[in-house]
Structure 1
Amino acid sequence: MPRGDLAGLVAAFGAALHDAGLPVGPDRGERFARAVTLLAPTTTAELHRCARATLTCHPEQFEILDRVFDAVFRGYADDPADFRGDPNATGTSTTTRSGGFSSAGPSSESPSSSQAPAREVEIPVATVGSAAERLASRDFATLTPEELAALQDLMRRLAVATPPRRTRRMRARPLGAAVDLRATLRRARRSGGHPVRLMRREPRLRPRRLVALCDISGSMEPYARAMLQLLYCAAGTSHAEVFTFATRLTRLTKVLARTRPAVALARAGQAAPDWSGGTRIGAALKAFNDGYGRRGMARGAIVLIVSDGWETGDPAQVGVEMARLSRLAHRIVWVNPRTQSPRYRPLVGGMAAAWPYCDAVVSAHSLTALDPLLAALEGHSRRT
């Protein structure tokens, strides 16, 4: 078995199992690949246990898996008990190599070897991650559009959650703080008009609205594309309002709805005429506050701003509009990829003016750096 990419190896193994009659689909193949990546098995025995734990769901399927496992990873069929740890198995194993993977073969038995305990042979197994996993640690600015699209499956596994808020609608709750008078009187009919049991209620909880404003100027274009793809894959545009800005503010919520990510990003570029243009953060924030924020969109919402803080206009306007926005929003999270450097200081005019009004500032420059962003969006308290 030649050494190669783990994704291709798992796909070939899964196809062989499926052809042999074992119902192995992409979900089981993904579990097997993740188990191999996390456990990093060094012997065929460990690899076999990973396969059994992730690719079968009933003992009756073991026989098929063992046979296919022998053919794929052993090169020829020998006694499966030799690597399953069967105490009744006889014989030892020697190591043969075939293109980087090792195969165990039966050895001749002698009087001295028949009494010796079986020896487990160390066999190197390739644990190379999939192409998407290798891209996860790379800066978004270094990824091509095709490589960024390859991260869609990993982004769908992320959970973009916002803290809950109480609504005016109520729901029945046995331990609720408020007494539901109407429900109590209706129930009292069962006991001759006597309110034997008080019915209680409490406000319903709903996730807070997420409002994203993405800087699509030349320096921020790759990061804006990554954030738009994250919002599409992980949150869904039905739970988020999305805007882009460079020299003007453009609402993309409807553009991103009900379509594939690649098509959505293409439409976003067509809908925003200032894509890769200059940056006027203050003017964009003023347009949002005047047109959407004070009308209720930002009230009690989680506002996500994606920008490096470079302002071609008046930085003082950024401070004024950020102050207005902070009085409306529940929480403001600023994504600045430049903050990944430990030497970064908010000295640029726009970033310096906005910094005091941000509840959290994160870099989110790669897929592996998104965890602080997700934690900041889910935070419940404001920074003091």
Structure 2
Amino acid sequence: MISRDADEVLLAFVHALRVAGVAVTPDRAQTFLAAVAVVGADTARGVHLAGRATLCASPDDLARFDLVFPAFFSRHAGPRQAPADRSRTTARAPLPDRDGDSGPEEGESEVIRALVSDTDVLRSRDIAELSADDRRRLAGLFASLHPRPPLRRTARHQRWHRGEVDVGRTLRNALRQGGEAAELARRRRGRRPRRVILLVDVSGSMRAYADALLRFAHRCTVATRRQGGTVETFTVGTRLTHVTRALRTEDPERALAAAGATVPDWSGGTRLGESLQVFLDRWGRPGMARGAVVVVFSDGWERGEPDLLADQAARLRRIAHRVIWATPHQGRADYEPVQRGVLAVLPHCDHFVAGHSLAAFAEVAELVARS
């Protein structure tokens, strides 16, 4: 049993979810109020669990819910139980329809829109300029990224509703039906995920972005693995380090802690050419990079010989399906590619893109998926 005041707060929260993109139907909102009446509105955990169970219909909804919940209730007194009106046994507050005719007041809507707008601004800000609090908030937003593995065609065919006629299967079906072909069977070339390789620069010049880049690599590793794909991640500094095994842990904090314990050259120098040569000699040419989509996250500051880096980038381009170079400086309006490393690899890159914010990471993920 919850009071009308609590009903209004909960319905305002439902409206906030709709603004954030969660398609909450009126029946789900009614179920949410009933669930809160059972678990009690005096504990944040109870309201949180009741909302996740009743208001969310997909993994995307869960991610948005987890972002909106703390942001919304931090502006209120929090879930609490008001004095009970014994004449009522269930919540009977009017539910807002899809058009929001009976939603919260105008002032409440402005607060909700401000919260969502603040999240959008945070997604677009340069990571190097964020405060410690903003970095902690940004870490939770990586769950909103949904990387997909790029697909390649295989030699084998699979059944499909359109495409070329599968003569063999059409004839076998006809024989089972007494020799009469009632329907043409069709097929298409099969699809398999391509391997994705991430080379993350963790040198001193990339120190401000290293944590976010490894969080992005972890998100790609976990999400792609669930879809049957493979992501291999290496850190690049004064040496090359393979950190894929550490990033396969589902929990991002544990994964980053394990990766941090694996990498010996944090915030050191940059030897892109030598590291890329080691990668190609040990992992690339034997098969890992062949036909893969390779993404390099680096600002291009090279302490070694740029000619060596150019030669290794040319080797990589010959065996990889796509080479994408993401630099944080590309996100600045006045940026010009003048670094020696960037000038050496530009002729051998398929795409040269920004890598300075969460929004830029989302664009990189989409570019990889389309490769």
TM bucket normalised to smaller: 0.5 to 0.7
Question: Displacement, 1:246?
Answer: 0.4
Contact 1:137–1:366 (8 Å) recurs in 2: yes
Alpha-carbon distance between aligned partners in 2 of 1:149 and 1:84, rounded to the nearest angstrom: 35
Alpha-carbon distance between aligned partners in 1 of 2:163 and 2:354, rounded to the nearest angstrom: 41
Contact 1:17–1:65 (8 Å) recurs in 2: no
Alpha-carbon distance between aligned partners in 2 of 1:232 and 1:149, rounded to the nearest angstrom: 16
Structure 2 counterpart of 1:163, which letter? P
Query: Which of the numbers 34, 51, 61 marks the counterpart of 1:25?
Result: 51
Contact 2:37–2:91 (8 Å) recurs in 1: no
Alpha-carbon distance between aligned partners in 2 of 1:357 and 1:270, rounded to the nearest angstrom: 33
Counterparts of residues 124-273 of structure 1 (less than 5 Å)? 125-127=110-112, 128-129=114-115, 135-143=122-130, 147-177=134-164, 179=166, 181=168, 183-192=169-178, 199-234=185-220, 236=222, 238=225, 239-273=230-264
Contact 1:170–1:204 (8 Å) recurs in 2: yes
Query: Which of the numbers 56, 63, 74 marks the counterpart of 2:92?
Result: 63
SS of alignment partner, residue 254 of structure 1: helix
| Structure having the larger proportion of residues in helix | 2
**Residue 333 (str. 1) matches residue 320 (str. 2):** no
Contact 2:205–2:301 (8 Å) recurs in 1: no
Residue in structure 2 matched with residue 76 of structure 1 by the alignment: none
Cα displacement string for residues 175-217 of structure 1 (whole angstroms, at most 9, x for unaligned residues): 3336353x34533432456777664432211232211000010
Query: Which of the numbers 291, 308, 314 marks the counterpart of 1:300?
Result: 291
Cα displacement string for residues 221-248 of structure 1 (whole angstroms, at most 9, x for unaligned residues): 3323212212323552633111111011
Task: Tell me which moved more, 19-28 or 265-274.
Answer: 19-28
Q: Percent identity?
A: 36
Q: Do the aligned partners of residues 209 and 252 (structure 1) sit closer, same or farther apart at CA in structure 2, a change above 3 Å counting?
A: same
Q: Do the aligned partners of residues 311 and 283 (structure 1) sit closer, same or farther apart at CA in structure 2, a change above 3 Å counting?
A: same
Task: Pick 1 or 2: higher relative contact order, CA cutoff 8 A, min separation 6.
Answer: 2
SS of alignment partner, residue 294 of structure 1: helix
Contact 2:297–2:355 (8 Å) recurs in 1: no
Structure 1 counterpart of 2:212, which letter? A
Residue in structure 2 matched with residue 288 of structure 1 by the alignment: 279
Contact 1:213–1:242 (8 Å) recurs in 2: yes
Contact 1:162–1:302 (8 Å) recurs in 2: no
Structure 2, unpaired ranges of 5+:
1-8, 17-28, 42-46, 57-63, 72-89
Residue in structure 2 matched with residue 95 of structure 1 by the alignment: none
Alpha-carbon distance between aligned partners in 1 of 2:341 and 2:206, rounded to the nearest angstrom: 14
Contact 2:209–2:356 (8 Å) recurs in 1: yes
Tell me how large the CA RMSD over aligned residues is: 4.1
Task: Tell me which moved more, 316-325 or 158-167.
Answer: 158-167
Structure 2 counterpart of 1:360, which letter? H
Structure 2 counterpart of 1:187, which letter? N
Question: Displacement, 1:327?
Answer: 1.2
Structure 2 counterpart of 1:318, which letter? L
Task: Tell me which moved more, 366-375 or 289-298.
Answer: 366-375
SS of alignment partner, residue 92 of structure 2: helix
SS of alignment partner, residue 211 of structure 2: helix
Question: Displacement, 1:300?
Answer: 1.9
Structure 1, unpaired ranges of 5+:
1-5, 38-60, 70-82, 86-100, 103-120
Q: Do the aligned partners of residues 336 and 311 (structure 1) sit closer, same or farther apart at CA in structure 2, a change above 3 Å counting?
A: same
Contact 2:271–2:304 (8 Å) recurs in 1: yes
Relative to the length of structure 2, the TM-score reads: 0.68
Relative to the length of structure 1, the TM-score reads: 0.65
SS of alignment partner, residue 150 of structure 1: helix
Task: Tell me which moved more, 260-269 or 147-156.
Answer: 147-156
Cα displacement string for residues 238-282 of structure 1 (whole angstroms, at most 9, x for unaligned residues): 331111110111111111113311111111111111121111000
Q: Do the aligned partners of residues 228 and 180 (structure 1) sit closer, same or farther apart at CA in structure 2, a change above 3 Å counting?
A: farther
Question: Displacement, 1:152?
Answer: 4.0
Q: How many residues align?
A: 301
Q: Do the aligned partners of residues 122 and 344 (structure 1) sit closer, same or farther apart at CA in structure 2, a change above 3 Å counting?
A: closer
Contact 2:216–2:361 (8 Å) recurs in 1: no
Cα displacement string for residues 304-361 of structure 1 (whole angstroms, at most 9, x for unaligned residues): 1000001111101111111111111121111111122222222211110011111222
Question: Displacement, 1:160?
Answer: 1.8
Structure 1 counterpart of 2:237, which letter? A
Alpha-carbon distance between aligned partners in 2 of 1:347 and 1:259, rounded to the nearest angstrom: 39
